């Protein structure tokens, strides 16, 4: 690892990976909530047209891509909110329009195919110091604004009609989220590529949903998984000599598969423990020999490292320090209600 950090371009690549790994899942969480997971793909294809404009005119592709992406994001949201067409149709028009315009403009550009491939699939090892500065500023803006507005984004994404009824500027928040998505796409295009950015927005959130118990903890887990996947992907791609974008996404998918398996095993173990508790082999009472622990209006019996509490014709099994009335969903419900109330 010390050898990697001694290389200037690797230090820049790792900084870019951290920025993207933190920002992309944070924005993606609200896109998943709004069922607009593929908007990143649509904006990415419009950003491709912006890159083509930059290459064709000799200007900085990052800025032309940013202008194109933001304009497309705002346009789609305005069309959707006007109700003249559905969000899916607006996305489709943007998706194919961006590809078509990008192809036409690229055919007129003198840029090498390798340069274009870097924007499509990621070329993090070729990021310049100027790129890092621009990406850092944009990423800080994305993370800061998203975190400050997270409660409002949550409320609007959860129920637009209710948010509108209580006086929230729904259109303003939706446009703000779309703009943040566009900026995230541009920040990420040199790391994972315009064609793979949606994966880094969505997959860490899918993984976080398997291991978290509230929306807030899901945001934190998604960002942690995103950063870990991005940094690990950069390191692996350096040694394996593979494209950074594809490597990062494959590692994110690997984390999702591992979390799915572990989550399934934990759920199965909990179900088996509950079934064993229901098939209790003997009755607890004053002469059963197990320690009795008073709890509110009943008594828990400590047996095999767990508290057994009688409920009707069966016993519920709980941890030694937990309340017999606690359930895995109670923390979820409390935290969820706190998020909505804010």
Beta bridge partners of 317: 308
Q: How many domains does the chain have?
A: 2
Last residue of a domain, one of 168, 198, 228: 198
- 291-306: string of b/e by CB count within 10 Å (b at 16+)? eeeeeeeebbbebeeb
Cβ-Cβ contacts under 8 Å for 20 (sequence gap 6 or more): 135, 139, 187, 188, 191, 192, 200, 226, 230
**pLDDT score of 255:** 93
DSSP per residue over 32-73, as a string? HHTT-TTHHHHHHHHHHHHHHHHHHHTS-HHHHHHHHHHHHH
Range(s) of the domain holding residue 330:
280-341
CB of 285 closer than 8 Å to CB of 235? no
Residue 242 in domain: no
| 3 state DSSP class of 83 | coil
**pLDDT score of 270:** 74
CATH (domain of 170): 1.10.3470.10
**pLDDT score of 334:** 39
Same domain, 191 and 301: no
Structure tokens at 103: 């192809």
- Model confidence, pTM: 0.70
Same domain, 32 and 137: yes
Residue 275 in domain: no
Residue 143 in domain: yes
Per-residue pLDDT of 226-249, as tens digits, reads: 999 989 988 888 888 888 888 889
Residue 101 in domain: yes
Residue 223 in domain: no
Same domain, 296 and 180: no
CB of 237 closer than 8 Å to CB of 20? no
Last residue of a domain, one of 153, 181, 198: 198
Same domain, 82 and 178: yes
For the beta sheet containing 314-318, the strands, ordered from the edge strand earlier in sequence to the opposite edge, are 292-295, 298-303, 306-311, 314-318
Tell me the C-alpha distance between 202 and 26, whole Å.
10
Burial of 47 (0-12, 13-18, 19+ CB in 10 A): buried
Last residue of a domain, one of 141, 170, 198: 198
Same domain, 21 and 136: yes
Residue 258 in domain: no
- Tell me how crowded residue 222 is: count the other CB atoms within 10 A of its CB: 29
**pLDDT score of 87:** 58
Residue 84 in domain: yes
Residue 247 in domain: no
Low-confidence ranges of the chain (pLDDT < 70): 1-5, 83-88, 90, 110-116, 121, 125-126, 273-290, 296-297, 301-342
């Amino acid at each position: 690892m010390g050898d990697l950090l001694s290389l200037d371009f690797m230090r820049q690549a790792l900084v870019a990976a951290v920025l993207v790994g933190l920002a992309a899942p944070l924005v993606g969480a609200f896109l998943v909530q709004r069922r607009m997971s593929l908007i990143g793909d649509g904006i990415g294809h419009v950003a491709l047209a912006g890159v083509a404009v930059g290459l064709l005119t000799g200007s900085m592709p990052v800025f032309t891509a940013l202008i194109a992406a933001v304009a497309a994001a705002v346009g789609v949201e305005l069309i959707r909110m006007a109700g003249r067409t559905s969000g899916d149709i607006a996305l489709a028009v943007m998706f194919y329009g961006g590809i078509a315009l990008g192809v036409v403009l690229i055919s007129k550009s003198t840029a090498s195919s390798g340069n274009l491939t870097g924007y499509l699939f990621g070329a993090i090892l070729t990021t310049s110091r100027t790129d890092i500065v621009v990406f850092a500023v944009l990423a800080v803006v994305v993370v800061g604004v998203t975190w400050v507005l997270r409660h409002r984004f949550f409320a609007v994404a959860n129920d637009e009609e209710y948010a509108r009824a209580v006086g929230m500027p729904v259109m303003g928040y939706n446009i703000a989220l779309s703009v943040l998505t566009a900026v995230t796409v541009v920040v990420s295009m040199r790391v994972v590529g315009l064609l793979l950015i949606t994966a880094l927005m969505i997959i860490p959130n899918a993984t976080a949903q398997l291991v978290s118990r509230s929306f807030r903890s899901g945001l934190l887990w998604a960002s942690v998984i995103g950063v870990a996947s991005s940094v690990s992907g950069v390191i692996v791609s350096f040694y394996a000599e593979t494209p950074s974008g594809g490597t990062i996404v494959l590692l994110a998918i690997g984390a999702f598969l591992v979390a799915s398996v572990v989550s399934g095993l934990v759920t199965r173990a909990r179900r088996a423990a509950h079934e064993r508790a229901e098939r209790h082999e003997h009755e607890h009472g004053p002469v059963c020999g197990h320690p009795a622990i008073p709890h509110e209006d009943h008594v828990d019996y400590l047996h095999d490292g767990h508290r057994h509490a009688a409920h009707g014709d069966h016993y519920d099994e709980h941890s030694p320090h937990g309340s017999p009335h606690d359930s895995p969903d109670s923390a979820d419900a409390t935290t969820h209600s706190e998020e909505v109330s804010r």
